[in-house]
Structure 1
């Protein structure tokens, strides 16, 4: 049996309840398309970036895996997605000393494209 769709009133009521509880509705995500070309240097880089992300309250949602292009010109190599409590925290992370201090090491093992995006994480998402 399919679940009954919520009415607009039910949706708005849930949204207000979430906001009143102080639960953040907007998170920050860091999305990276990367091509690793030096596995040895990457092995040194990987634990350091994990520590840096965790130190800023972030977590990895996914790292790598097979990608299938459905539409468009983008052909990703290895996609990584990290989640932060807010867009501002994601922005703060990419400007942090912990992240920027890894720039040289990162550039010695990979090419990457990085974007920070704001994402809704509330009712109905």
Structure 2
């Protein structure tokens, strides 16, 4: 069953975050994932959630998301992301 990694991210240091942006999708692809949404200007339909940048990545399964997120390949980029952003992420299964 497909699964989605939903990310709400605020990039606090764009210059230092560039390396992450340049390298992340090749690692995501390695684990069977690909981006389906990246939006810096979402429209609030209800409530008060206003992501700075909303990213949704589609993977074949939650296991693929967990393998990606906990991989040695991602670890150096995870450090860059954590140093230059504030964010939240969830994994959710599709229908």
**TM-score normalised to structure 2 length:** 0.89
**2:5 equivalent in structure 1:** 30
Higher strand share: 2
Q: RMSD of aligned C-alpha atoms?
A: 1.3
1:103 aligns to 2:78 (yes or no): yes
Q: Deviations over 1:55-104 (max 9, x none)?
A: 11110001123211111231211000000011221122111112233222
Between the aligned partners of 2:74 and 2:89, the Cα distance in structure 1 is: 12
1:43 aligns to 2:18 (yes or no): yes
- Where in structure 1 do 4 or more consecutive aligned residues deviate above 2 Å? none
Q: How does 1:1-125 map to 2 (within 5 A)?
A: 26-120=1-95
Q: CA deviation at 1:50?
A: 1.2
Between the aligned partners of 1:83 and 1:106, the Cα distance in structure 2 is: 19
Structure 2: any 5+ residue segments left out of the alignment? Answer: none
**TM-score normalised to structure 1 length:** 0.70
- The alignment of Structure 1 onto Structure 2 pairs a total of residues equal to 95
